[in-house]
């Protein structure tokens, strides 16, 4: 692809110098179009993505909740047919000694403040779909399941999440927003 673009650019630069100023402007516009086209085709789930935001959204677009607080940290890595997802809350609760030990409080909190799973995956950038067979997870009931997620690119951002589902009485869509680090 790069070689083909280089040949086209060389041809148009030669043509522009031969035809004069008007052709130079056309050449610049063509080169900009080629650059935009090459950037668009480079959008891929492959690689590392850093979490910027995580929300549960109602059908009308309003935010219902922040599942890992307002400032979660995490990433998604897709490399060589394997996927890893990890997200955690940064607002850590204060654990104090009560009837329940601090260790028991931490264990209980872990299920609601952290998520991680990994396994082999396939993805189709044209369709914006990835499927992972979970081999390891923070919850034992995730292991052995297939997790399908949907994604799209918006500028330099990746919008990622499962299909809408019902949480309590509401239908919500989990939406992760990620960027390349």
Sign (positive or negative) of CA dihedral 107, 112, 116, 119? positive
Domain span including residue 13: 2-41
Q: What is the CATH number of the domain that holds 100?
A: 2.40.128
- My answer on whether 68 and 139 are in the same domain is yes
The whole-number pLDDT of residue 4 equals 44
- My answer on whether 11 and 53 are in the same domain is no
The whole-number pLDDT of residue 20 equals 58
Phi-psi region of 119 (alpha: psi -120 to 50; beta: other; left: phi over 0): left
- My answer on whether 117 and 173 are in the same domain is yes
Per-residue pLDDT of the chain (181 residues; tens, 9 = 90+): 444 444 444 444 454 555 555 544 454 444 444 443 333 336 999 999 999 999 999 999 999 999 999 999 999 999 999 999 999 999 877 777 777 788 888 877 878 899 999 999 999 999 999 999 999 999 999 999 999 999 999 999 999 999 888 767 889 999 999 999 9
- My answer on whether 37 and 54 are in the same domain is no
- My answer on whether 117 and 70 are in the same domain is yes
- Total structural domains within the chain: 2
The whole-number pLDDT of residue 21 equals 52
The whole-number pLDDT of residue 48 equals 97
The whole-number pLDDT of residue 42 equals 61
The whole-number pLDDT of residue 179 equals 97
- My answer on whether 70 and 104 are in the same domain is yes
- My answer on whether 146 and 103 are in the same domain is yes
Question: In the chain, what are the helix, strand and coil shares in percent, each to the nearest 5?
Answer: 30, 40, 30
The whole-number pLDDT of residue 17 equals 56
| CA dist., res. 173 & res. 162, Å (int) | 7
Dihedral of CA atoms 139, 144, 148, 153 in degrees, nearest 10, equals 70
- My answer on whether 51 and 121 are in the same domain is yes
- My answer on whether 154 and 116 are in the same domain is yes
Residue count of the chain: 181
- My answer on whether 86 and 136 are in the same domain is yes
- My answer on whether 34 and 122 are in the same domain is no
The whole-number pLDDT of residue 81 equals 96
- My answer on whether 30 and 64 are in the same domain is no
């Amino acid at each position: 692809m790069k070689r083909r673009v280089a040949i086209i650019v060389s041809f148009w630069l030669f043509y522009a110098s031969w035809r004069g100023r008007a052709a130079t402007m056309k050449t610049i516009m063509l080169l900009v179009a080629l650059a935009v086209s090459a950037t668009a085709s480079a959008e891929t789930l492959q690689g590392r993505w850093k979490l910027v935001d995580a929300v549960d959204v109602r059908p009308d677009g309003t935010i219902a909740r922040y599942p890992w607080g307002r400032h979660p940290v995490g990433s998604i890595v897709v490399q060589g047919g394997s996927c890893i997802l990890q997200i955690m809350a940064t607002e850590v609760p204060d654990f104090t000694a009560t009837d329940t030990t601090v260790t028991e409080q931490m264990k209980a909190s872990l299920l609601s403040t952290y998520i991680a799973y990994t396994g082999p995956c396939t993805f189709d950038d044209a369709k914006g779909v990835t499927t992972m067979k979970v081999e390891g997870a923070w919850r034992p009931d995730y292991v052995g399941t297939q997790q399908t997620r949907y994604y799209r690119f918006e500028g330099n951002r990746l919008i990622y999440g499962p299909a809408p589902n019902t949480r309590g009485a509401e239908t919500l869509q989990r939406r992760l927003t990620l960027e390349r680090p």
